[in-house]
Structure 1
Protein backbone atom coordinates (compact mmCIF):
# COMPACT_ATOMS: atom_id res chain seq x y z
CA UNK A 1 0.00 0.00 0.00
CA UNK A 2 1.46 3.39 -1.02
CA UNK A 3 1.81 6.42 1.22
CA UNK A 4 -0.83 8.23 -0.86
CA UNK A 5 -3.38 5.46 -0.35
CA UNK A 6 -2.74 5.51 3.40
CA UNK A 7 -3.42 9.24 3.47
CA UNK A 8 -6.79 8.80 1.69
CA UNK A 9 -8.00 5.82 3.76
CA UNK A 10 -11.29 5.93 5.64
CA UNK A 11 -10.98 8.14 8.74
CA UNK A 12 -11.27 6.54 12.16
CA UNK A 13 -14.21 7.16 14.47
CA UNK A 14 -11.97 9.38 16.61
CA UNK A 15 -11.29 11.57 13.56
CA UNK A 16 -14.94 12.03 12.64
CA UNK A 17 -16.74 14.98 14.19
CA UNK A 18 -20.43 15.94 13.92
CA UNK A 19 -21.01 18.45 11.17
CA UNK A 20 -21.47 22.01 12.39
CA UNK A 21 -24.94 23.48 11.83
CA UNK A 22 -26.59 26.81 12.41
CA UNK A 23 -29.41 27.22 14.94
CA UNK A 24 -32.33 24.88 14.26
CA UNK A 25 -35.27 26.66 12.63
CA UNK A 26 -38.94 26.36 13.55
CA UNK A 27 -39.49 24.60 10.22
CA UNK A 28 -36.85 21.98 11.09
CA UNK A 29 -38.48 21.42 14.48
CA UNK A 30 -41.89 20.98 12.82
CA UNK A 31 -40.36 18.51 10.35
CA UNK A 32 -38.87 16.56 13.27
CA UNK A 33 -42.29 16.31 14.91
CA UNK A 34 -43.74 15.02 11.64
CA UNK A 35 -41.18 12.33 10.92
CA UNK A 36 -41.19 11.15 14.55
CA UNK A 37 -45.02 10.96 14.43
CA UNK A 38 -45.48 13.41 17.30
CA UNK A 39 -47.18 16.19 15.37
CA UNK A 40 -50.72 15.02 16.21
CA UNK A 41 -49.91 14.85 19.94
CA UNK A 42 -48.39 18.34 20.03
CA UNK A 43 -51.18 19.74 17.85
CA UNK A 44 -53.80 18.36 20.25
CA UNK A 45 -52.06 20.04 23.20
CA UNK A 46 -51.87 23.34 21.31
CA UNK A 47 -55.57 23.07 20.44
CA UNK A 48 -56.38 22.46 24.10
CA UNK A 49 -54.56 25.64 25.12
CA UNK A 50 -56.37 27.58 22.40
CA UNK A 51 -59.73 26.27 23.64
CA UNK A 52 -58.88 27.28 27.20
CA UNK A 53 -57.90 30.81 26.18
CA UNK A 54 -61.01 31.26 23.99
CA UNK A 55 -63.40 29.86 26.62
CA UNK A 56 -61.87 32.11 29.27
CA UNK A 57 -62.45 35.09 27.01
CA UNK A 58 -66.11 34.10 26.64
CA UNK A 59 -66.50 33.64 30.42
CA UNK A 60 -64.49 36.79 31.20
CA UNK A 61 -61.89 34.83 33.18
CA UNK A 62 -58.69 36.85 33.44
CA UNK A 63 -55.33 36.78 35.20
CA UNK A 64 -54.13 39.82 37.12
CA UNK A 65 -50.57 41.12 37.10
CA UNK A 66 -50.32 40.22 40.79
CA UNK A 67 -51.34 36.61 40.09
CA UNK A 68 -48.76 36.42 37.31
CA UNK A 69 -46.08 37.79 39.63
CA UNK A 70 -46.89 35.29 42.38
CA UNK A 71 -46.91 32.37 39.94
CA UNK A 72 -43.69 33.56 38.31
CA UNK A 73 -41.97 33.83 41.70
CA UNK A 74 -43.15 30.32 42.60
CA UNK A 75 -41.82 28.99 39.29
CA UNK A 76 -38.41 30.60 39.81
CA UNK A 77 -38.20 29.25 43.35
CA UNK A 78 -39.15 25.73 42.22
CA UNK A 79 -36.54 25.76 39.45
CA UNK A 80 -33.93 27.54 41.60
CA UNK A 81 -33.81 30.60 39.35
CA UNK A 82 -32.88 32.85 42.25
CA UNK A 83 -31.68 35.88 40.32
CA UNK A 84 -32.17 37.68 37.03
CA UNK A 85 -28.93 36.25 35.60
CA UNK A 86 -30.05 32.69 36.29
CA UNK A 87 -33.50 33.39 34.86
CA UNK A 88 -32.08 34.89 31.67
CA UNK A 89 -29.69 31.95 31.28
CA UNK A 90 -32.60 29.53 31.68
CA UNK A 91 -34.65 31.41 29.07
CA UNK A 92 -31.73 31.25 26.66
CA UNK A 93 -31.30 27.53 27.31
CA UNK A 94 -35.01 26.96 26.61
CA UNK A 95 -34.76 29.17 23.49
CA UNK A 96 -37.76 31.22 24.56
CA UNK A 97 -38.36 34.86 25.36
CA UNK A 98 -39.59 36.31 28.64
CA UNK A 99 -42.91 36.91 26.89
CA UNK A 100 -43.13 33.22 25.92
CA UNK A 101 -42.45 32.20 29.50
CA UNK A 102 -45.05 34.63 30.86
CA UNK A 103 -47.64 33.38 28.36
CA UNK A 104 -47.01 29.81 29.47
CA UNK A 105 -47.65 30.76 33.09
CA UNK A 106 -50.76 32.73 32.09
CA UNK A 107 -52.23 29.72 30.26
CA UNK A 108 -51.56 27.46 33.25
CA UNK A 109 -53.38 29.91 35.53
CA UNK A 110 -56.26 30.29 33.07
CA UNK A 111 -56.58 26.50 32.81
CA UNK A 112 -56.83 26.13 36.57
CA UNK A 113 -59.35 28.96 36.86
CA UNK A 114 -61.45 27.43 34.09
CA UNK A 115 -61.39 24.02 35.79
CA UNK A 116 -62.53 25.61 39.04
CA UNK A 117 -65.26 27.67 37.35
CA UNK A 118 -66.70 24.67 35.53
CA UNK A 119 -66.34 21.83 38.02
CA UNK A 120 -65.17 22.83 41.52
CA UNK A 121 -68.75 22.96 42.83
CA UNK A 122 -69.60 19.60 41.23
CA UNK A 123 -66.86 17.47 42.79
CA UNK A 124 -68.73 16.48 45.97
CA UNK A 125 -71.92 15.42 44.16
CA UNK A 126 -69.93 13.63 41.47
CA UNK A 127 -67.91 11.76 44.09
CA UNK A 128 -70.96 10.67 46.07
CA UNK A 129 -72.74 9.50 42.92
CA UNK A 130 -69.71 7.63 41.57
CA UNK A 131 -67.96 6.66 44.81
CA UNK A 132 -67.26 3.09 43.71
CA UNK A 133 -65.22 4.39 40.77
CA UNK A 134 -62.73 6.03 43.09
CA UNK A 135 -61.13 3.01 44.65
CA UNK A 136 -57.40 3.37 44.13
CA UNK A 137 -54.64 0.82 43.97
CA UNK A 138 -50.87 0.99 44.06
CA UNK A 139 -49.53 -1.65 41.75
CA UNK A 140 -46.45 -2.96 39.97
CA UNK A 141 -46.32 -4.25 36.41
CA UNK A 142 -44.15 -6.23 34.03
CA UNK A 143 -45.15 -5.88 30.37
CA UNK A 144 -43.92 -8.35 27.73
CA UNK A 145 -45.02 -9.17 24.20
CA UNK A 146 -44.86 -12.98 24.34
CA UNK A 147 -47.24 -15.20 26.32
CA UNK A 148 -44.61 -17.88 26.92
CA UNK A 149 -42.30 -15.28 28.45
CA UNK A 150 -45.14 -13.94 30.59
CA UNK A 151 -46.00 -17.40 31.93
CA UNK A 152 -42.35 -18.11 32.71
CA UNK A 153 -42.04 -14.83 34.63
CA UNK A 154 -45.16 -15.60 36.66
CA UNK A 155 -43.83 -19.05 37.50
CA UNK A 156 -40.46 -17.61 38.57
CA UNK A 157 -42.12 -14.98 40.78
CA UNK A 158 -44.51 -17.42 42.45
CA UNK A 159 -41.62 -19.82 43.15
CA UNK A 160 -39.73 -17.01 44.86
CA UNK A 161 -36.70 -17.41 42.59
CA UNK A 162 -36.51 -13.68 41.84
CA UNK A 163 -38.07 -10.48 43.10
CA UNK A 164 -40.69 -8.54 41.15
CA UNK A 165 -38.26 -5.62 40.98
CA UNK A 166 -35.51 -7.76 39.45
CA UNK A 167 -37.80 -9.28 36.84
CA UNK A 168 -39.27 -5.90 35.90
CA UNK A 169 -35.85 -4.32 35.43
CA UNK A 170 -34.77 -7.23 33.27
CA UNK A 171 -37.90 -7.95 31.23
CA UNK A 172 -40.50 -5.16 31.29
CA UNK A 173 -40.95 -3.42 27.93
CA UNK A 174 -42.94 -0.54 29.42
CA UNK A 175 -40.79 2.52 30.04
CA UNK A 176 -42.11 3.43 33.50
CA UNK A 177 -42.19 -0.07 34.98
CA UNK A 178 -38.94 -1.02 33.30
CA UNK A 179 -37.10 1.90 34.87
CA UNK A 180 -38.76 1.78 38.30
CA UNK A 181 -38.50 -1.88 39.14
CA UNK A 182 -42.09 -2.50 38.14
CA UNK A 183 -43.81 0.11 40.29
CA UNK A 184 -46.19 2.29 38.26
CA UNK A 185 -47.81 4.28 41.05
CA UNK A 186 -51.28 4.76 42.50
CA UNK A 187 -54.18 4.77 40.02
CA UNK A 188 -57.95 5.07 40.13
CA UNK A 189 -59.22 1.61 39.19
CA UNK A 190 -61.83 3.25 36.94
CA UNK A 191 -59.07 4.73 34.73
CA UNK A 192 -57.43 1.37 34.01
CA UNK A 193 -58.04 -0.63 30.83
CA UNK A 194 -61.20 -2.80 31.06
CA UNK A 195 -59.21 -6.04 30.85
CA UNK A 196 -57.07 -4.99 33.81
CA UNK A 197 -60.03 -3.75 35.86
CA UNK A 198 -61.73 -7.12 35.45
CA UNK A 199 -58.59 -9.10 36.31
CA UNK A 200 -57.75 -7.25 39.54
CA UNK A 201 -61.27 -7.28 41.01
CA UNK A 202 -61.14 -9.03 44.37
CA UNK A 203 -57.39 -9.66 44.23
CA UNK A 204 -55.50 -9.47 47.52
CA UNK A 205 -52.50 -7.17 47.94
CA UNK A 206 -49.25 -8.99 47.18
CA UNK A 207 -50.81 -11.58 44.86
CA UNK A 208 -49.18 -12.19 41.46
CA UNK A 209 -51.91 -12.02 38.81
CA UNK A 210 -51.94 -14.29 35.77
CA UNK A 211 -50.87 -12.57 32.51
CA UNK A 212 -53.52 -10.15 31.21
CA UNK A 213 -53.73 -9.72 27.43
CA UNK A 214 -54.34 -6.21 26.10
CA UNK A 215 -53.46 -4.42 22.88
CA UNK A 216 -50.13 -3.48 24.46
CA UNK A 217 -49.08 -7.04 25.23
CA UNK A 218 -49.17 -9.28 28.32
CA UNK A 219 -49.33 -7.55 31.70
CA UNK A 220 -48.11 -9.25 34.87
CA UNK A 221 -49.46 -7.30 37.83
CA UNK A 222 -49.09 -7.24 41.56
CA UNK A 223 -51.34 -5.06 43.71
CA UNK A 224 -49.16 -3.41 46.33
CA UNK A 225 -51.96 -1.77 48.31
CA UNK A 226 -55.67 -1.01 48.04
CA UNK A 227 -56.96 2.40 49.08
CA UNK A 228 -60.55 2.85 50.23
CA UNK A 229 -62.44 5.70 48.55
CA UNK A 230 -61.83 9.00 50.31
CA UNK A 231 -62.24 12.57 49.15
CA UNK A 232 -58.83 13.91 50.12
CA UNK A 233 -57.39 17.04 48.55
CA UNK A 234 -55.27 14.97 46.16
CA UNK A 235 -58.30 12.92 45.09
CA UNK A 236 -60.32 16.12 44.71
CA UNK A 237 -57.62 17.50 42.38
CA UNK A 238 -57.58 14.28 40.35
CA UNK A 239 -61.37 14.29 40.00
CA UNK A 240 -61.28 17.92 38.90
CA UNK A 241 -58.71 17.01 36.26
CA UNK A 242 -60.72 14.00 35.08
CA UNK A 243 -63.92 16.05 34.78
CA UNK A 244 -62.08 18.73 32.83
CA UNK A 245 -60.50 16.22 30.44
CA UNK A 246 -63.88 14.57 29.92
CA UNK A 247 -65.38 17.98 29.12
CA UNK A 248 -62.63 18.70 26.60
CA UNK A 249 -63.21 15.30 25.01
CA UNK A 250 -66.94 15.92 24.78
CA UNK A 251 -66.27 19.26 23.09
CA UNK A 252 -64.04 17.47 20.57
CA UNK A 253 -66.81 14.94 19.84
CA UNK A 254 -69.38 17.69 19.30
CA UNK A 255 -67.11 19.57 16.91
CA UNK A 256 -66.15 16.45 14.91
Structure 2
Protein backbone atom coordinates (compact mmCIF):
# COMPACT_ATOMS: atom_id res chain seq x y z
CA UNK A 1 0.00 0.00 0.00
CA UNK A 2 1.34 3.40 -0.97
CA UNK A 3 1.12 6.20 1.59
CA UNK A 4 3.11 8.69 -0.47
CA UNK A 5 1.60 11.52 -2.52
CA UNK A 6 -2.08 12.28 -2.80
CA UNK A 7 -3.41 8.85 -3.77
CA UNK A 8 -3.78 5.40 -2.26
CA UNK A 9 -3.07 2.24 -4.21
CA UNK A 10 -5.99 -0.14 -3.68
CA UNK A 11 -4.97 -3.51 -5.15
CA UNK A 12 -3.82 -1.95 -8.39
CA UNK A 13 -6.40 0.84 -8.53
CA UNK A 14 -5.40 4.37 -7.60
CA UNK A 15 -7.83 6.31 -5.39
CA UNK A 16 -7.23 10.01 -4.91
CA UNK A 17 -7.41 11.23 -1.31
CA UNK A 18 -9.84 13.93 -2.43
CA UNK A 19 -12.20 11.18 -3.62
CA UNK A 20 -12.07 9.59 -0.16
CA UNK A 21 -12.89 12.89 1.56
CA UNK A 22 -15.72 13.61 -0.90
CA UNK A 23 -17.13 10.10 -0.40
CA UNK A 24 -17.11 10.53 3.39
CA UNK A 25 -18.70 13.97 3.07
CA UNK A 26 -21.56 12.99 0.75
CA UNK A 27 -22.29 9.90 2.88
CA UNK A 28 -22.34 12.05 6.03
CA UNK A 29 -19.40 10.18 7.56
CA UNK A 30 -16.80 12.96 7.45
CA UNK A 31 -17.94 14.58 10.69
CA UNK A 32 -17.54 11.29 12.58
CA UNK A 33 -14.04 10.75 11.18
CA UNK A 34 -13.00 14.31 12.05
CA UNK A 35 -14.37 13.87 15.57
CA UNK A 36 -12.30 10.73 16.05
CA UNK A 37 -9.18 12.52 14.83
CA UNK A 38 -9.77 15.34 17.30
CA UNK A 39 -10.46 12.79 20.05
CA UNK A 40 -7.06 11.27 19.34
CA UNK A 41 -5.42 14.70 19.62
CA UNK A 42 -7.15 15.25 22.97
CA UNK A 43 -5.96 11.84 24.19
CA UNK A 44 -2.38 12.55 23.09
CA UNK A 45 -2.31 15.92 24.83
CA UNK A 46 -3.88 14.65 28.05
CA UNK A 47 -1.58 11.63 28.17
CA UNK A 48 1.43 13.88 27.72
CA UNK A 49 0.25 16.19 30.51
CA UNK A 50 -0.22 13.24 32.89
CA UNK A 51 3.03 11.54 31.88
CA UNK A 52 1.42 8.43 30.38
CA UNK A 53 3.35 6.48 27.75
CA UNK A 54 3.19 3.13 25.97
CA UNK A 55 6.39 1.11 25.85
CA UNK A 56 7.63 -0.95 22.87
CA UNK A 57 7.30 -4.04 25.07
CA UNK A 58 3.61 -3.32 25.69
CA UNK A 59 3.03 -2.85 21.96
CA UNK A 60 4.81 -6.12 21.16
CA UNK A 61 2.82 -7.99 23.80
CA UNK A 62 -0.42 -6.74 22.25
CA UNK A 63 0.82 -7.68 18.77
CA UNK A 64 1.42 -11.24 19.94
CA UNK A 65 -1.99 -11.34 21.64
CA UNK A 66 -3.75 -10.18 18.46
CA UNK A 67 -1.82 -12.68 16.35
CA UNK A 68 -2.97 -15.51 18.62
CA UNK A 69 -6.54 -14.22 18.58
CA UNK A 70 -6.59 -14.05 14.77
CA UNK A 71 -4.68 -17.36 14.41
CA UNK A 72 -1.79 -15.67 12.58
CA UNK A 73 0.75 -18.30 13.52
CA UNK A 74 3.37 -17.54 10.85
CA UNK A 75 4.92 -14.24 9.84
CA UNK A 76 3.63 -14.79 6.30
CA UNK A 77 0.08 -15.13 7.69
CA UNK A 78 0.48 -11.85 9.51
CA UNK A 79 1.78 -10.00 6.44
CA UNK A 80 -1.03 -11.42 4.31
CA UNK A 81 -3.64 -10.27 6.85
CA UNK A 82 -2.06 -6.81 7.06
CA UNK A 83 -2.15 -6.54 3.26
CA UNK A 84 -5.85 -7.36 3.28
CA UNK A 85 -6.42 -4.60 5.83
CA UNK A 86 -4.32 -2.16 3.73
CA UNK A 87 -1.84 -1.82 6.60
CA UNK A 88 1.87 -2.24 7.03
CA UNK A 89 3.57 -3.25 10.28
CA UNK A 90 4.28 0.36 11.24
CA UNK A 91 0.62 1.37 10.74
CA UNK A 92 -0.53 -1.59 12.82
CA UNK A 93 1.82 -0.86 15.69
CA UNK A 94 0.89 2.85 15.71
CA UNK A 95 -2.79 1.90 15.88
CA UNK A 96 -2.10 -0.52 18.74
CA UNK A 97 -0.10 2.14 20.55
CA UNK A 98 -3.01 4.60 20.21
CA UNK A 99 -5.53 2.11 21.61
CA UNK A 100 -3.25 1.17 24.54
CA UNK A 101 -2.72 4.86 25.32
CA UNK A 102 -6.47 5.44 25.29
CA UNK A 103 -6.97 2.52 27.69
CA UNK A 104 -4.29 3.83 30.04
CA UNK A 105 -5.75 7.34 30.02
CA UNK A 106 -9.32 6.17 30.63
CA UNK A 107 -8.13 4.00 33.54
CA UNK A 108 -6.06 6.85 34.94
CA UNK A 109 -8.94 9.35 34.77
CA UNK A 110 -11.91 7.21 35.78
CA UNK A 111 -10.74 3.81 37.04
CA UNK A 112 -11.36 4.80 40.68
CA UNK A 113 -14.76 6.37 39.86
CA UNK A 114 -16.42 3.29 38.33
CA UNK A 115 -17.33 1.53 41.61
CA UNK A 116 -18.73 4.76 43.06
CA UNK A 117 -20.83 5.35 39.92
CA UNK A 118 -22.11 1.78 39.99
CA UNK A 119 -23.11 2.04 43.66
CA UNK A 120 -24.96 5.32 43.10
CA UNK A 121 -26.80 3.96 40.03
CA UNK A 122 -27.14 0.30 40.97
CA UNK A 123 -30.90 0.17 40.35
CA UNK A 124 -30.29 1.12 36.70
CA UNK A 125 -28.20 -2.02 36.25
CA UNK A 126 -30.74 -4.48 37.64
CA UNK A 127 -32.17 -6.73 34.92
CA UNK A 128 -35.20 -8.95 34.37
CA UNK A 129 -35.63 -11.95 32.10
CA UNK A 130 -38.94 -10.89 30.60
CA UNK A 131 -41.78 -12.31 28.54
CA UNK A 132 -44.34 -9.93 27.12
CA UNK A 133 -47.38 -9.91 24.87
CA UNK A 134 -49.07 -6.80 23.49
CA UNK A 135 -52.53 -6.75 21.94
CA UNK A 136 -54.44 -3.80 20.44
CA UNK A 137 -57.58 -3.93 22.62
CA UNK A 138 -58.03 -3.91 26.40
CA UNK A 139 -61.05 -6.24 26.23
CA UNK A 140 -58.94 -8.88 24.46
CA UNK A 141 -56.13 -8.39 26.95
CA UNK A 142 -58.51 -8.83 29.89
CA UNK A 143 -59.91 -12.01 28.35
CA UNK A 144 -56.39 -13.40 27.84
CA UNK A 145 -55.50 -12.47 31.42
CA UNK A 146 -58.48 -14.49 32.63
CA UNK A 147 -57.71 -17.49 30.39
CA UNK A 148 -54.04 -17.55 31.43
CA UNK A 149 -54.96 -17.20 35.13
CA UNK A 150 -57.42 -20.09 34.81
CA UNK A 151 -54.81 -22.12 32.89
CA UNK A 152 -57.10 -22.39 29.87
CA UNK A 153 -54.15 -21.25 27.76
CA UNK A 154 -50.50 -20.69 28.58
CA UNK A 155 -48.96 -17.23 28.45
CA UNK A 156 -46.52 -18.43 25.79
CA UNK A 157 -49.25 -19.86 23.58
CA UNK A 158 -51.28 -16.65 23.92
CA UNK A 159 -48.25 -14.59 22.91
CA UNK A 160 -47.64 -16.89 19.93
CA UNK A 161 -51.25 -16.46 18.75
CA UNK A 162 -52.20 -12.88 19.61
CA UNK A 163 -49.17 -10.60 19.96
CA UNK A 164 -49.15 -7.66 17.54
CA UNK A 165 -45.41 -8.09 16.87
CA UNK A 166 -44.42 -10.86 14.46
CA UNK A 167 -40.99 -11.41 15.98
CA UNK A 168 -42.40 -11.65 19.50
CA UNK A 169 -45.11 -14.05 18.30
CA UNK A 170 -42.38 -16.25 16.81
CA UNK A 171 -40.52 -16.27 20.15
CA UNK A 172 -43.71 -16.77 22.24
CA UNK A 173 -43.31 -13.39 23.93
CA UNK A 174 -39.64 -13.72 24.84
CA UNK A 175 -38.02 -10.27 25.24
CA UNK A 176 -34.77 -11.40 26.83
CA UNK A 177 -32.70 -9.68 29.53
CA UNK A 178 -33.75 -6.07 29.93
CA UNK A 179 -32.55 -3.21 32.10
CA UNK A 180 -34.98 -0.94 33.89
CA UNK A 181 -34.28 1.82 31.34
CA UNK A 182 -35.17 -0.51 28.45
CA UNK A 183 -38.80 -0.34 29.59
CA UNK A 184 -41.28 2.52 29.62
CA UNK A 185 -41.27 4.09 33.11
CA UNK A 186 -44.85 3.06 33.86
CA UNK A 187 -44.03 -0.53 32.82
CA UNK A 188 -40.70 -0.64 34.68
CA UNK A 189 -42.29 0.44 37.98
CA UNK A 190 -44.78 -2.44 37.88
CA UNK A 191 -42.36 -5.06 36.50
CA UNK A 192 -39.63 -4.44 39.09
CA UNK A 193 -42.23 -4.44 41.86
CA UNK A 194 -43.71 -7.81 40.84
CA UNK A 195 -42.77 -11.36 41.83
CA UNK A 196 -41.07 -13.84 39.52
CA UNK A 197 -43.73 -15.84 37.68
CA UNK A 198 -46.52 -13.37 38.45
CA UNK A 199 -48.85 -12.45 35.54
CA UNK A 200 -48.70 -8.65 35.20
CA UNK A 201 -51.36 -6.56 33.47
CA UNK A 202 -53.34 -5.49 31.62
CA UNK A 203 -51.16 -2.35 31.27
CA UNK A 204 -52.20 0.11 28.52
CA UNK A 205 -49.55 2.23 26.76
CA UNK A 206 -49.32 3.95 23.38
CA UNK A 207 -48.06 0.61 21.97
CA UNK A 208 -51.17 -1.33 23.00
CA UNK A 209 -52.21 -3.30 26.08
CA UNK A 210 -49.52 -5.39 27.78
CA UNK A 211 -49.37 -8.64 29.69
CA UNK A 212 -45.99 -9.56 31.16
CA UNK A 213 -44.25 -12.28 33.12
CA UNK A 214 -40.86 -11.94 34.80
CA UNK A 215 -39.09 -15.29 34.63
CA UNK A 216 -36.10 -14.13 36.66
CA UNK A 217 -34.78 -11.05 38.43
CA UNK A 218 -31.05 -10.53 37.85
CA UNK A 219 -29.48 -8.27 40.53
CA UNK A 220 -26.80 -5.89 39.34
CA UNK A 221 -23.21 -7.07 39.75
CA UNK A 222 -20.04 -5.14 39.02
CA UNK A 223 -18.34 -7.80 36.90
CA UNK A 224 -15.47 -7.13 34.50
CA UNK A 225 -17.76 -6.57 31.50
CA UNK A 226 -19.94 -4.04 33.32
CA UNK A 227 -16.86 -2.34 34.78
CA UNK A 228 -15.46 -1.84 31.29
CA UNK A 229 -18.81 -0.65 29.94
CA UNK A 230 -19.12 2.01 32.66
CA UNK A 231 -15.48 3.05 32.19
CA UNK A 232 -15.99 3.39 28.42
CA UNK A 233 -19.13 5.48 28.90
CA UNK A 234 -17.43 7.82 31.37
CA UNK A 235 -14.41 8.22 29.12
CA UNK A 236 -16.56 8.84 26.01
CA UNK A 237 -18.55 11.49 27.89
CA UNK A 238 -15.29 13.14 28.97
CA UNK A 239 -14.02 13.16 25.37
CA UNK A 240 -17.26 14.73 24.15
CA UNK A 241 -17.02 17.46 26.79
CA UNK A 242 -13.36 18.13 25.96
CA UNK A 243 -14.16 18.37 22.24
CA UNK A 244 -17.08 20.72 22.89
CA UNK A 245 -14.80 22.93 25.00
CA UNK A 246 -12.17 22.89 22.25
CA UNK A 247 -14.68 23.86 19.56
CA UNK A 248 -16.26 26.52 21.79
CA UNK A 249 -12.85 28.06 22.47
CA UNK A 250 -12.08 28.04 18.75
CA UNK A 251 -15.33 29.83 17.85
CA UNK A 252 -14.85 32.29 20.71
CA UNK A 253 -11.35 33.17 19.46
CA UNK A 254 -12.60 33.43 15.87
CA UNK A 255 -15.33 35.86 16.89
CA UNK A 256 -12.88 37.98 18.89
CA UNK A 257 -10.48 38.17 15.94
CA UNK A 258 -13.25 39.47 13.66
CA UNK A 259 -14.15 42.37 15.97
Shorter-chain-normalised TM-score: which range? 0.5 to 0.7
User: Which residue of 1 is the match for residue 117 of structure 2?
Assistant: 126
Structure 2 SS opposite 1:117 = helix
> Which of 104, 114, 125 lines up with 1:113 in the alignment?
104
Count of aligned residue pairs for this structure pair = 212
User: Which residue of 2 is the match for residue 159 of structure 1?
Assistant: 158
1:20-72 per-position Cα deviation (integer Å, ceiling 9, x unaligned): x8233333222222222122222222222222122111111101111111101
After superposing the two structures, state which structure 1 stretch, 198-207 or 108-117, moved more: 198-207
Distance in 2 of aligned mates of 1:86 and 1:102: 16
Distance in 1 of aligned mates of 2:90 and 2:160: 57
Q: Tell me by how many angstroms 1:170 deviates.
A: 10
When Rg is computed on C-alpha atoms for both structures, the one with the higher figure is 2
User: Which residue of 2 is the match for residue 227 of structure 1?
Assistant: 218
> Which of 228, 247, 253 lines up with 1:237 in the alignment?
228
Structure 2 SS opposite 1:34 = helix
Distance in 2 of aligned mates of 1:69 and 1:120: 24
The question of whether the paired residues in 2 share the 8 Å contact of 1:169 and 1:181 is answered with yes
Distance in 2 of aligned mates of 1:78 and 1:106: 18
Structure 1 SS opposite 2:232 = helix
Greater fraction of residues in strand? 2
Q: Tell me by how many angstroms 1:100 deviates.
A: 1.2
* TM-score of the superposed pair, with normalisation by structure 1: 0.64
User: Which residue of 2 is the match for residue 168 of structure 1?
Assistant: 167
C-alpha distance 25-65 of structure 1, shift in aligned 2 (>3 A)? same
* TM-score of the superposed pair, with normalisation by structure 2: 0.64
Q: Tell me by how many angstroms 1:159 deviates.
A: 3.4
> Which of 215, 237, 242 lines up with 1:251 in the alignment?
242
> Which of 10, 29, 40 lines up with 1:49 in the alignment?
40
Structure 2 SS opposite 1:202 = helix
CA RMSD of aligned residues (A): 4.1
